[in-house]
Chains A and B, each alone.
Chain A
């Protein structure tokens, strides 16, 4: 499929990189960084030879081509049909929704209550926070657990421990390729990271603790902090993050946060639904320490989200969260 690329003799290095002829990483790193794995390469060579032998005989090539053509035809047909079906279903569902901004009797009673009594009952200026962490805190509890479950699933699929490092060549290669493509030594990323990472963390914490006063809260603040951790790991390497963030720390943080959320909200629901039995005073609306349970719950959700985000990145990159 690829077109042959023409190389003009007078082209600059930058122009060649722009056209995709050279990779910057190949210039920076020497070949010794990429260690070869003989057993895997032998396997691949065998695979290639088998394919070549298959292609060499005209009859098998014809049959393979016919199968491939039939597969692509069926694939296209199924794709088009399912796409049209999905679009039809979605349009049908949308036509049933009330128009944007229109009055709706069903939703109005709930909305009226939230808008009029939200500040008084939850102590949160940002009514969205009051909703997701007070009136409907049970929803958010489920969402946090979904994130936790997702992290566990990624861990099951991608985690590399000592046992399968010794057994399989596949994982060995993954680790090597990560080392090959690591950008941790790059000066541009490191120095811009030095400037930008503290700002990102402060911004994330600001969003997190101001969830009840301004837009933001647990999910957004946690995601920003997780992104900051990812940039930190990309700029300075995983050795630095391993010093303070390991799989053990991640597990304890997530566990404590989720347990705190479950018990706090369970207690509130048990002693009086809708936050009536809120044990923490609501404080002055607009202050950071206001909104009763909303601030601690925000922090709990934010920690879970940050751990999940960084855990995803770390597991994708090197198959471990750290510390093992």
Chain B
């Protein structure tokens, strides 16, 4: 087994761990960050599969823009919750 293959297996295991962890995390903010991690790992996997085009798009859209949209939405929900009962995220 070459080093690259080992690296690939580690990445794929991490992908599964992230995918499960997103569902099992209670805090929404943490889920978003784990989801971001998932996209970053996926970006590396795309590079290893020799499709850099997809890797760039995954990094920009998956890890960047969609996470930002999630965070903005969370901020909005948090401000609503704040005014209701004085609690954070």
Could you list which residues of chain A lie within 8 angstroms of chain B, going by C-beta atoms?
1-2, 20, 23, 41, 44, 48, 126, 128-129, 173-174, 177-178, 180-181, 207, 215-217, 219-220, 223-224, 226-227, 230, 309, 312-313, 316-317
- Give the Cβ gap from A309 to chain B, nearest Cβ, in Å: 5
- Give the Cβ gap from B70 to chain A, nearest Cβ, in Å: 10
Which B residues touch A316, using CB under 8 A? 69, 72-73, 76
Residues in B50-66 with C-beta less than 8 Å from chain A = 51-53, 55-57, 60-61, 64-65
Given A215-B52, A216-B56, output 6 extra A-B contacts at Cβ < 8 Å.
A44-B84, A216-B53, A217-B53, A223-B60, A226-B65, A227-B68
Contact A219 B57 (CB under 8 A): yes
Give Cα A230 to B66, complex, Å. Answer: 12
Beta-carbon nearest neighbor of B75 in chain A: A181
Contact A313 B68 (CB under 8 A): yes
Write out, one digit per residue, whether chain B residues 23-51 have a CB within 8 A of any chain A CB (1) or not (0): 00010000000000000000000000001
Which B residues touch A126, using CB under 8 A? 53
Contact A223 B69 (CB under 8 A): no
Which of A129, A223, A309, A317 is B72 in contact with, Cβ under 8 Å? Answer: A317
Contact A227 B65 (CB under 8 A): yes
Which B residues touch A173, using CB under 8 A? 80, 83
- Give the Cβ gap from B33 to chain A, nearest Cβ, in Å: 14
Task: Tell me if B's interface is mostly helix, strand, loop or mixed.
Answer: helix
Give Cα A317 to B70, complex, Å. Answer: 11
Beta-carbon nearest neighbor of A230 in chain B: B68
Which A residues touch B76, using CB under 8 A? 174, 177-178, 316
Give Cα A80 to B22, complex, Å. Answer: 16
Which A residues touch B83, using CB under 8 A? 41, 44, 173
Which A residues touch B53, using CB under 8 A? 126, 128-129, 215-217, 220
Q: Could you list 22 examples of A-B contacts with CB < 8 Å?
A: A2-B87, A41-B83, A48-B84, A126-B53, A128-B53, A173-B80, A177-B75, A177-B80, A181-B79, A207-B56, A215-B52, A215-B53, A215-B56, A216-B52, A219-B57, A220-B60, A223-B64, A224-B60, A226-B65, A227-B68, A313-B68, A316-B72
Which A residues touch B64, using CB under 8 A? 223, 227
- Give the Cβ gap from A261 to chain B, nearest Cβ, in Å: 18
Tell me whether A313 and B79 are in contact in the complex, defined as CB-CB below 8 angstroms, given that A2-B87, A216-B53, A223-B64 are known contacts.
no
**What total count of A-B pairs have CB within 8 Å?**
66
Which A residues touch B26, using CB under 8 A? 1
Give Cα A219 to B60, complex, Å. Answer: 10
Give Cα A44 to B52, complex, Å. Answer: 51
Beta-carbon nearest neighbor of B65 in chain A: A309
- Give the Cβ gap from A114 to chain B, nearest Cβ, in Å: 14
Contact B69 A312 (CB under 8 A): yes
Give Cα A220 to B59, complex, Å. Answer: 9
Which A residues touch B61, using CB under 8 A? 219, 223, 309
Contact A20 B65 (CB under 8 A): no
- Give the Cβ gap from B86 to chain A, nearest Cβ, in Å: 11
Beta-carbon nearest neighbor of A305 in chain B: B61
Tell me whether A220 and B56 are in contact in the complex, defined as CB-CB below 8 angstroms, given that A20-B88, A177-B80 are known contacts.
yes
Which B residues touch A174, using CB under 8 A? 76
Give Cα A1 to B87, complex, Å. Answer: 12
Which B residues touch A219, using CB under 8 A? 57, 61
Give Cα A312 to B57, complex, Å. Answer: 17
Give Cα A309 to B79, complex, Å. Answer: 24
Give Cα A219 to B75, complex, Å. Answer: 28
Beta-carbon nearest neighbor of B55 in chain A: A215
Which B residues touch A312, using CB under 8 A? 65, 69
Contact B88 A23 (CB under 8 A): yes
Which B residues touch A217, using CB under 8 A? 53
